[in-house]
Amino acid sequence: MNEDQVLEILQKVGAFRAGHFILTSGRHGDTYINKDALYPYTRDTSELCKEIARRFKGRGVEAIIGPAVGAAILSQWTAYHLSDMEQRTVFATYADKDGEGGFVIRRGYDQLINDKKIIVVEDLTTTGGSIKKVVDAAKRVGAHIVGAGVLCNRGDVTPEMVNVPILESLVSVGLDSWEQSECDLCKRGIPINTEVGHGSKKK
């Protein structure tokens, strides 16, 4: 699956929106990738996760982990396809938010991934912050990080930025974003979208 095919799926499910948005990183942007628009479409979600699984086939991956909430779905599908490809069980797990801006691995998943080769999956990355926090949490419980797989890399995030050997991005999209103090949309008085993105918290 190439980038054009991935973009076609994301566009088909309505994942691209234009306007004034607050991104997960807190930065402002004029384009928003509404990753949540993908998840109701199970066939499309499955196809994208199958591609992530294909890229890590043969690397000895024993478990998949993603940051809650959306990436827990990606973890399930990716583990399903990798299990099918390699004819063995690959576990699907996820990391919970710890309430202090980080992630913690509990529910017995910490024991499940201990001393196992894992990959981290994420739907969208702008700064790589969530991936790195999950990587750090996984290392604390003794997991061995093989790499990370991302549906859409919109911030030119590199493996070094998230502390992984390999970062596989199905599509890389260079979308502009700004700190609030430098946001021209704010200066022009264009309202922040409160339906999607972190602007919804301003309702």
> Which whole number is the average pLDDT over 179-189?
93
* Residue 200 confidence class, pLDDT cut points 50, 70, 90: low
Lowest-confidence pick of 12-16, 71-75, 158-162, 174-178: 174-178
Residue 188 has pLDDT above 70, yes or no: yes
**Ramachandran class of 39: left when φ > 0, alpha when ψ lies in -120 to 50, beta otherwise:** alpha
pTM of the model: 0.84
What's the rounded Cα separation, in Å, for the pair 90 and 177? 37
For the chain, which domains are there?
3-202 (3.40.50.2020)
Q: How are beta strands 177-178 and 28-33 bridged, if at all?
A: antiparallel
Residue 166 has pLDDT above 80, yes or no: yes
pLDDT score for 150: 98
Q: Helix or strand or coil: residue 141?
A: coil
Of the candidates 34, 39, 15, 16, which has an alpha carbon nearest to the alpha carbon of residue 24? 34
The C-alpha angle 139, 145, 150, rounded to 5 degrees, equals 115
Taking 80 as the threshold, does the pLDDT of residue 199 lie above it?
A: no
HEC per residue, 150-196: EEEECCCCCHHHHCCCCEEEEEECCCCEECHHHCHHHHCCCCCCCCC
- Compute φ and ψ for 116, nearest 5 degrees: -115, 155
Residues 6+ apart with CB under 8 A from 108: none
pLDDT, position 198: 73
> 115 is written with which tokens?
């001393």
Query: Is 168's pLDDT higher than 90?
Result: yes
pLDDT in tens, 39-98: 999 999 999 999 999 999 999 999 999 999 899 999 999 999 999 999 999 999 999 999
Q: Model confidence over 118-164: pLDDT tens digits?
A: 999 999 998 899 999 999 999 999 999 999 999 999 889 999 999 99
